[in-house]
Structure 1
Amino acid sequence: MRVLAFICALLAGPVWAQSPADAAQDAAVRLQDAQAALDAASGRSDRVEALTETVQAYESGLAALRDGLRRAAIRQRTLETDLNARSEDVARLLGVLQTMGRAPAPILLLHPSGPTGTARSGMMLAEVTPALQDQVTALRVQLEEVAILRDLQTDALTILEDGLEGAQSARAALSAAISDRTDLPQRFAEDAVQTALLLASSETLEAFATGLVDSEASVGPDASTVKGAIPLPVGGQVIRQFQEPDAAGIIRPGILIATRPRALVTTPVSATIRYAGPLLDYGTVVILEPAADTLWVIAGMAEAFGEVGQIVPDGTPIGLMGGNITQAQAILNESAQGSAGQRTETLYLEVRDRQSAVNPADWFAFQ
């Protein structure tokens, strides 16, 4: 009985709201849906919106698949380690079951001490047999789960390759669609000479932003009504807060967001594009004006979308992050090591009110 109790304790596992295998399989379905959306996007009149949703669906599906594979690998190792650690007890359980299976039922009930002992042994057997059956069922479930997880790892390479290829195709199609777009309202036409002069005369981001505020006073979008509840322009995690020094002790009046390579950057509210291109040492920068005298400086992208003077609606792509896309086999290796992938790219976000930098937390909901 002590051995049986020990086996019961060992076979009792955690209860998952959704198993790792189910999570990974659901992510694979989401990637298939994204592929179908990509195929359908070419025939839609609102191609930019359709392709934006498709790219985001691919990003979401790939992130979910990586997390599911990581959880599956951890779960598989846990099950295999657990089964190996108690192999002796499992062997005893199987031996008991085999012995019971070979012995005729009447003999099992006989006891050398006579009728009283036989009655007691019958009662004990009646009590133990269901418990043994429960343990056999639990063991079978674990073994089946291990088999499913192994099959999932085998199929994952093809799923990942298709997902990564589809995401890249969707990004390329989106970039082309944005270049061909002609339906956005134009708040003003860019004065290329004035912009070049402002760039040449500005030694700091503050000076450049101040020049932009002073150069245009016409009425545009006003996002101040949703101030404080605006999502970040890219999915990720804030790793440096407003006025927080970096590892070198440099303080910049903005936040730093860690995100994945080639992540899509969008404007979370309607805004006017005031600048798009390289700026000082900030890399590729897009400056948006979501309200009068307010600028959002979004820096660190590899590509910028849109034209100066355009009023872009919420959810409009304004750029893509840089970095190298991890290959499918490398993703599997990361998952096997218990990693869901690293956010290796960083996006800088600064908010300026008139001539001063303010805390982005006043506008964005990220804390």
Structure 2
Amino acid sequence: MIRAFAFISLIWASTALAQTSPGEAAVNAAQRIEDASIQLQNASSARDRVTALTETVKAYEEGLIALREGLRRAAVRQEALELELNAKSDEIAQLLGVLQSMGRAPSPVLLLHPTGPTGTARSGMILADVTPALQDEVVALRAQLEEVAFLRDLQNNAADTLTKGLNGAQSARAALSAAISDRTDLPQRFTEDDIQTALLIASAETLDAFASGLNDTIGTELDISSPDALSKRGELPLPVQGRVLRGFNEEDLAGISRPGLLIAARPRVIVTTPVAATLRFRGPLLDYGNVVILEPAADVLFIYAGLAEVFGNVGEILPAGSPIGMMGGDSPLVDEILTEMQNGAGLTATETLYLEVREGQAPVDPALWFAIE
């Protein structure tokens, strides 16, 4: 039994070395949030505040994701360790009894055997074999108890770290919105004809009709060359961190299909352009909510729908990685996150972003442009 327990402990130790432990993952995530707070302080003096703040928002988002996952794994690991220790309570009691007996008895007495020198020699050999196994079991038991204490302490302090991360992310988003409003250094391809845009919004009954009439909304064209992302076709990352719920022309539960992707995302996550593109439209449209339409190449449109906030001025050429908006929803409260983690629940992606790609006058599969896992 003792050797089996020691063997299991050695297997667990080798597995723990092969991958980051839940506790280490949570600690590393907390450090990422601390680094993001430093980035936020430095962003005010950065030459390009929008870029610096965009990276800061992403750093907070990634840190919070990693922290929530680390805490979830820590809660699961702690429960598993406590169940394992409870199941071995009798064995642990026997081990402690043996160790106490060995500790009280003088060494010569432990080696003496009533059958004489031969028995004494055999008892010495047995004790020499048993002692390392007992020592290994004690070391493994101590490691498990220390890990349980560490995980408990980690979760007890998690509320402060989560509060700091959530507040920092909110401050970074607000600063980013202000910086985008103040930005005046982007090249502009054209000015918008507000009247024609309003007429198009009022008359278009479908997204297809609106996209087809976008050229009529151009006021004065300026002498600026347009972006050309054709060389990056098929390699672009998705504009938001999330997972694809439905693919191109895939039917939903109601039997309705759309010529685009539906991406599940977390509340308040930032949405960026994956490549340099001209901003052709932003604002509410039909029943799609807030919509952003980008032109990354001639006769190519990227359409994003379902955002809560949208950024930028129509006609501007946005660099790759520029924020174009944020998803809606409410950031979860600290108590809600901790409850989810204690229950072993994962991250919740409650918002959805619709992504459509059009070439010429027709939609095409976004997988032709985006690297979709």
d(CA) in 1 for partners of 2:293 and 2:40?
29
Measure how far apart 1:105 and its partner are. Answer: 0.6
Partner of 1:356: 362
| Equivalent pair of 1:27/1:61 in contact (CA under 8 Å) | yes
Query: Which digits, 9 at most, give the CA deviation of each residue in 1:213-249, with x for residues without a partner?
Result: 5766985101110100000000111111111011111
Aligned to 1:270: 276
Inter-partner Cα distance in structure 2 for 1:11 and 1:36? 40
Give the one of 53, 73, 83 matched to 1:51.
53
Contact 2:6 2:140 in 1 (8 A): no
AA paired with 1:322? G
SS in 1 for 2:329: coil
Matching of residues 49-198 of structure 1 within 5 Å: 49-198=51-200
1:308 to 308, 314, 317: 314
Aligned to 2:254: 248
Q: Tell me how far apart the structure 2 counterparts of residues 154 and 123 of structure 1 sit (CA, whole Å).
A: 47
Asked if the contact 1:294–1:351 (Cα under 8 Å) also holds between the matched residues in 2, the reply is: yes
Query: How big is each residue's C-alpha offset from its partner over 1:119-165, in whole Å with a ceiling of 9 and x where there is no partner?
Result: 11100100110111011001001000000000001111001001100
Deviation at 1:11, TM superposition (A): 3.5
Mapped partners of 2:192, 2:243: distance in 1: 34
Matched, 1:333 2:339: yes
Contact 2:39 2:56 in 1 (8 A): yes
**Alignment-derived partner of residue 5 in structure 1:** 3
Report the more deviating stretch, 318-327 or 11-20: 11-20
Give the Å deviation of 1:200.
Answer: 1.4
Q: Given residue 2 of structure 2, which amino acid in structure 1 is its aligned partner? A: L
Identity %: 62
Q: Distance in 1 between the 2:205 and 2:348 partners?
A: 34
| Unaligned residue ranges in structure 2 (runs of 5+) | none
Whole-Å Cα distance in 2 between the matches of residues 281 and 211 of structure 1? Answer: 18
Structure 1 Cα separation of the partners of residues 117 and 37 of structure 2: 72
Q: Distance in 2 between matches of 1:247 and 1:297?
A: 23
Verify the 8 A CA contact 1:285 1:298 in the aligned structure 2: yes
* Aligned-residue offset at 1:8: 2.4
- Deviation, structure 1 residue 7: 2.7
TM-score (norm 2): 0.95
For residues 302-333 of structure 1, the C-alpha deviation after alignment (integer angstroms, 9 at most, x for no partner) is 00000110000001000000001101111111
Query: Distance in 2 between the 1:284 and 1:128 partners?
Result: 71
1:287 aligns with 2:293: yes
Residue 41 of structure 1, aligned match among 40, 43, 49: 43
Deviations for 1:56-96, whole angstroms, at most 9, x for unmatched residues? Answer: 00000000000000010010001000000111111111111
Deviates more, 1:198-207 or 1:356-365: 198-207
Counterpart code for 1:364: F
Is the Cα–Cα contact under 8 Å of residues 7 and 90 in structure 1 kept in the other structure? Answer: no
Whether the 8 Å contact between 1:66 and 1:335 is mirrored in structure 2 is yes
User: Does the 8 Å contact 1:7/1:89 carry over to 2?
Assistant: no
* Residues paired across the two proteins, number: 365
The more displaced of 196-205 and 270-279 is 196-205
Q: Structure 2 CA distance, aligned partners of 1:108 and 1:190?
A: 94
Alignment deviations for residues 85-123 of structure 1 (CA, whole Å, 9 cap, x no partner)? 111111111111111111111111111221111111100
**Aligned-partner Cα distance in 2 for 1:293–1:212:** 11
Structure 1 unaligned spans of 5+: none
1:235 equivalent to 2:241? Answer yes
* Aligned counterparts of 1:38 and 1:4: Cα–Cα separation in 2: 54
Residues 332-341 or 357-366, more deviating: 332-341
